[in-house]
Structure 1
Amino acid sequence: MALPTNAARLCRLAGRTVASVLVKHRRTVSLPTTRCYISTSMGNNVQFRLDERTAHSSLDLFKKDTGVIYRMLGIDPSHVQGNPERFRDWAVVFGDEKISSGRHYWEVTVKKSQEFRLGVAEALMSREDCVGTNSSSWVFGYAQRKWFAMTSNKIVPVTLVGKPDRVGLLLDFEGGLLGLVDIEKPRLIHSIRVQFKAPLCPAFGLWDGELLTHSGLEEPEGLK
């Protein structure tokens, strides 16, 4: 699928392994309607780990599956256990929890990456797409020293001075809000408003360095 120039630049070819670029004929696999996530979160303070079954072959998980590191060469996709939940073309990984209601907050240490996306995506989102390029995912990203919000290939600049070591994400399922949080204040830096209609998973795209997730946290008082 051809992406607009600005979206293609942000979700660049480096997010793919060499092997995946050379494949000319790709077998289409349908995702199962029943997913094998640990549980479905319907309250608050979601706690999750990263789901190795969804991780692109260029991504390695560490620290008991709470962190992810990007490796440009990655693993030959033919050597990775095949399953329909895995991202084959884009350097994306999901969290292992589905969120179907409630208000949730988690944080991500981003100081060791210069190109990434953080947000949520529908659990049954197509594995052919990158997070932020379709109407089933909503993310905040950082690339070329600039922040942006993105969904359906539409990029909105986010005004943020500098780059903090760690940021927060606030999800209000019923309220239709995904917010990027300055954890020092605390305050909402930018919000994406949308009517969520299907269970969501925490979603991460990574094209440089590493990310570390921190879940099961209480929402800061200043955001309530």
Structure 2
Amino acid sequence: MAVPRSAARLCRLAGRTVLSLSARNRRAVCLPARRCYVSTSTGSNLQFRLDERTAHSSLDLFKKDTGIIYRMLGLDPSQVQDNPERFRDWAVVFGDEKINSGRHYWEVTVKKSQEFRLGVAEASMSRDDCVGTNSSSWVFGYAQRKWFAMTSNKIVPVTLVGKPDRVGILLDYEVGLLALVDVEKPRIIHSIRAQFKAPLCPAFGLWDGELLTHSGLEEPEGLK
């Protein structure tokens, strides 16, 4: 179904995804289930891929499930597996790793997107919500050429960042720290403090372009 440009723009600014109407009688194509691992070691480098089971129908995974591309109309929802782990209204996808301890670091190439959110969320977070809008998710976002930190639908501006090609995310579960990292310095640009009480997953929202994740990395020296 064609969507007027003005309506599509409004939906993107609101964070929601425009979907094409699906035919009632079309058959769903089942996608293979992905295993979800649990990280319990504080000494190993977190390595994850994006979990196809959680990906909204407007998101395509690529490069061995380490990258995501936003498709405005997306796939017909009837053509993807209907399961309770998939995000239904928001262009969000989780990583396939659950984190319940330790200090972890990963990076995201963001140069090909102008509207996205990066961070973590409880693995059991409602699939009807968007990351950053509830008390179960903590993210850094970029929209309208500005950075912000967001949780429980509260937005805090993040200044002096610019638009780097790549940023880092640092998570310390026990300390209750989520930080946005300048990978060139390296240094912490902005941090969110929280009390993490449930297993977390890397979380991504995307409404423009593409993102590429880089996990299994050593934490840069000097980040405290």
Provide the TM-score with structure 2 as the length reference.
0.86
What one-letter code is carried by the residue in structure 2 that aligns with 1:42?
T
Q: In the superposition, relative to structure 1, how do residues 59 and 98 fare at CA in structure 2: closer, same or farther (>3 Å)? A: same
Q: In the superposition, relative to structure 1, how do residues 122 and 91 fare at CA in structure 2: closer, same or farther (>3 Å)? A: same
Q: Which residue of 1 aligns with 2:46?
A: 46
Alignment match of 1:19 (pick from 10, 18, 21): 21
Equivalence map 1:1-224=2 (5 Å): 11-13=14-16, 15-19=17-21, 37-43=35-41, 44-224=44-224
Alpha carbons 2:34, 2:53 under 8 Å: kept: no
CA drift of 1:40 comes to 0.5
CA drift of 1:195 comes to 0.5
Q: Give identity over the alignment, percent.
A: 84
Q: Deviations over 1:159-185 (max 9, x none)?
A: 134200000000000000000000011
Q: Distance in 2 between matches of 1:177 and 1:187?
A: 14
CA drift of 1:12 comes to 2.6
CA drift of 1:36 comes to 7.0
| Matched length | 203
What one-letter code is carried by the residue in structure 1 that aligns with 2:181?
V
Q: Distance in 1 between matches of 2:106 and 2:210?
A: 17
Q: Which residue of 2 aligns with 1:23?
A: none
Deviating beyond 3 angstroms after TM superposition, the runs of 4 or more aligned structure 1 residues are 8-11
CA drift of 1:109 comes to 0.1
CA drift of 1:78 comes to 1.2
Q: Deviations over 1:18-68 (max 9, x none)?
A: 438xxxxxxxxxxxxxx9743111224210000000000000000000000
Q: Distance in 2 between matches of 1:172 and 1:136?
A: 16
Alpha carbons 2:109, 2:213 under 8 Å: kept: yes
Q: Distance in 2 between matches of 1:222 and 1:10?
A: 37
SS at match of 1:74: coil
Alpha carbons 1:40, 1:97 under 8 Å: kept: yes
Q: Which residue of 2 aligns with 1:27?
A: none
Aligned-residue RMSD, C-alpha: 1.8
